[in-house]
Amino acid sequence: MANQPPDLTTILKRQLDCSLEMLAKAVELCPDDAWADEAGHAPVWEQVYHALFWFNAWLRDWSKPIEYPEFHIKEALAIKRRSGSLIDRHQMSTYLTKVRADYEVFMTGLGEGSLLAEGTAFGRKWTVADRLLGQVRHIQHHVGYLNAILSTTRGIRVHWIGYGER
């Protein structure tokens, strides 16, 4: 039995874990002076918050309401820049830890048979597999955006983290 191939839920989780790890690395590597920099782009903190909030909103029990952190900034969800608002790195790191914990609980409750289960949110029906794959794409989109900002303005890059490459 030990030589059984992993189930699809395990494989999808591996990819989500790598995506989240790359986002966490962007938070870690971002210099303090770049965290809130709005010079021609949405600031790093806003990109990270947007990615984490929606990750948490999509990968949860949809029978319960969305939980908003106490520091929630509504405009940040749509990445609408405005001066004065800020979620600091400590708040974001704490939120990242909470999002990861919630995600682990969500994934623990899934079996391969549940990947095709449908739920309705945001005006459409989605399978659990759609939600998982969509978040791999969503997180990687924002990691790419952060890499573009950090590499062009500070010479810093988040390197690729793939399954088994940590």
14-44 pLDDT, tens digit per residue, is 999 999 999 999 999 999 999 999 888 889 9
**pTM attached to this predicted model:** 0.92
Say if residue 157 is exposed, middle or buried (CB neighbours under 10 Å; 0-12, 13-18, 19+).
middle
Superfamily for the 8-61+80-154 domain: dinb family like domain (1.20.120.450)
Per-residue pLDDT tens for 51-93?
999 999 999 999 999 999 999 888 877 887 666 778 999 999 9
The residues near 38 (Cβ < 8 Å, ≥ 6 apart) are: 81, 83
